[in-house]
């Protein structure tokens, strides 16, 4: 059952034209997930998509909302303006604690405002930092689009970058204790986040815990081998159920040949994204490393104590 649905195409086009012509601009307060969501149409990022389409990433929104049931402590990496923070506060346990980590001040302003507007200060905390495999400082390339910032490495040394505070999952565990849900959209840093200094965090996550992450093949920090290390860490610490959502582009045929055609389809604009559960680990590695990108999300669930 797909609870959330995007605006129809005509409404989306109409709103897009109004925004492009600046008939509608600036900060707008929207109703989403039984909450209020402040967006800024003057900011290049996710605000315009949420305003024009109603819901962002309809596959992620629906699947994640169902997986959140009973989750009590959530770590949201790349929290952006708080779209998924509001989804988490709506669908997780009523007393759930949410830690949001976001490095871009353009986003953290709106994130904090969305927490304040919804009176979520007691259950939500914001850390203005980035998560990587190291503690200290790292360089971040802040792009024009505030949802596409990424850690600077040898692949993008020519981009202008800014030094910001960096923390590892183990340091987060030492400060906050265990979590039973981790969501991340970190533009390729998922490799080092899971591959380095993550053992204490992953080990502490109880059976039934969820990791929901977007993957970025060809852009993994420290390369494919680091991403393989991160995926193996998940397996070694009891994450034995894996699901995927396809990217919606033509190389999906490679997945169809392996897994057949899924009946669980999410239409997102021009993309047809298919949801598959119970993926074996070897196929997961193959899909997660494939370039061009053929999967968008990996969902890992902890089935056993490690």
**CA distance to 60, 103, 112, per residue, from 124 (Å):** 21, 16, 9
Percent of the chain at pLDDT exceeding 70: 96
Sequence spans of domains, the chain: 56-302
- Give me the pLDDT at residue 211, please: 98
Arch. (CATH architecture) of 56-302:
3-Layer(aba) Sandwich (3.40)
| Residue 162 DSSP SS3 | strand
- What count of Cα atoms within 13 Å lies in the side-chain half-sphere of residue 264? 15
Q: Residue 251: pLDDT band by 50, 70, 90 thresholds?
A: low
Q: What is the mean pLDDT of residues 211-218?
A: 96
Q: What is the mean pLDDT of residues 143-168?
A: 76
CB atoms under 10 Å from CB of 288, counted, come to 26
Percent of the chain at pLDDT exceeding 90: 83
For 58-82, what is each residue's pLDDT tens digit?
999 999 999 999 999 999 999 999 9
List of residues 6+ apart from 23 with CB closer than 8 A: none
- Give me the pLDDT at residue 141, please: 83
- Give me the pLDDT at residue 107, please: 94
Identify which has the larger pLDDT, 161 or 103. Answer: 103
């Amino acid at each position: 059952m797909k609870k959330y649905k995007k605006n129809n195409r005509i409404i989306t086009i109409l709103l897009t034209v109004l925004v492009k012509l600046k008939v509608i601009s600036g900060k707008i307060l929207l109703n989403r997930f039984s909450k209020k969501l402040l967006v800024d149409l003057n900011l290049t990022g996710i605000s315009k998509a949420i305003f024009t389409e109603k819901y962002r990433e309809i596959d992620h929104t629906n699947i994640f909302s169902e997986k959140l049931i009973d989750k009590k402590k959530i770590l949201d990496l790349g929290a952006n303006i708080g779209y998924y923070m509001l989804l988490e506060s709506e669908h997780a346990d009523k007393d759930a604690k949410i830690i949001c980590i976001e490095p871009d001040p353009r986003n953290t302003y709106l994130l904090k405002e969305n927490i304040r507007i919804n009176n979520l200060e007691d259950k939500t905390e914001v850390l203005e930092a980035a998560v990587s495999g190291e503690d200290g400082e790292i360089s971040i390339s802040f792009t024009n689009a505030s949802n596409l910032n990424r850690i600077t490495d040898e692949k993008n040394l020519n981009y202008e970058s800014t030094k910001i505070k960096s923390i590892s999952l183990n340091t987060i565990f030492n400060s906050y204790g265990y979590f039973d849900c981790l969501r991340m959209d970190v533009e390729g840093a998922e490799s080092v986040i899971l591959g380095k200094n993550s053992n204490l965090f992953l080990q502490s996550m109880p059976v039934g815990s969820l990791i929901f992450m977007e993957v970025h093949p060809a852009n993994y920090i420290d390369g494919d081998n680091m991403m393989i290390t991160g995926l193996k860490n998940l397996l070694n610490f009891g994450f034995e159920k894996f699901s995927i959502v396809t990217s919606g582009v033509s190389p999906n045929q490679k997945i169809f040949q392996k897994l057949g055609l899924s009946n669980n389809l999410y239409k997102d604009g021009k993309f047809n994204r298919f949801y598959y559960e119970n993926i074996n680990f070897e196929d997961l590695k193959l899909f997660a490393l494939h370039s061009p990108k053929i999967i968008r999300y990996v969902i890992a669930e902890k089935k056993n104590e490690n």
